[in-house]
Amino acid sequence: MSSKNISTVVNLQRNFVRNTQSLPASSIPPSFFESAGILKHDDSTDWNDPNVLKQKLDYYEKILLEKDEQLKTALEEVELLKQKNNQKSNKQQK
């Protein structure tokens, strides 16, 4: 993972922590926390705990890598479609 991607994940994490700390726990659906790898929202959780942050960072890094792969696949498909379209255009012009 590039340093740019890592810094993006870290910045997203910081913003997430800042934004969610001001929200009452009841306004955040439990599924949101579960999708981030947090089993239960607990007010006693220290959001600055290195283990909690590491868990979240690992999760976001995994998601970012998956999205990167999906993007590469989609771009390859677009290129293939462009090539097929160009071949069709060339055949029709002849």
Q: What is the pLDDT of residues 25-66, one digit of tens each?
A: 566 666 666 666 665 545 556 767 888 888 888 888 988 999
pLDDT bracket for residue 13 (50, 70, 90): low
The per-residue pLDDT of the chain, averaged, comes to 75
Whether the full predicted model's pTM is greater than 0.85, yes or no, is: no
Predicted pLDDT at 80: 94
DSSP state, 94?
-
In sign, the C-alpha dihedral spanning 84, 76, 74, 82 is negative
| DSSP secondary structure string for all residues of 4-52 | HHHHHHHHHHHHHHHHHHTS-GGGS-HHHHHHTT-SS--TT--TT-HHH
Domain spans in the chain, listed from the N-terminal domain onward: 3-66
Residue 46 has which token pair? 């220290």
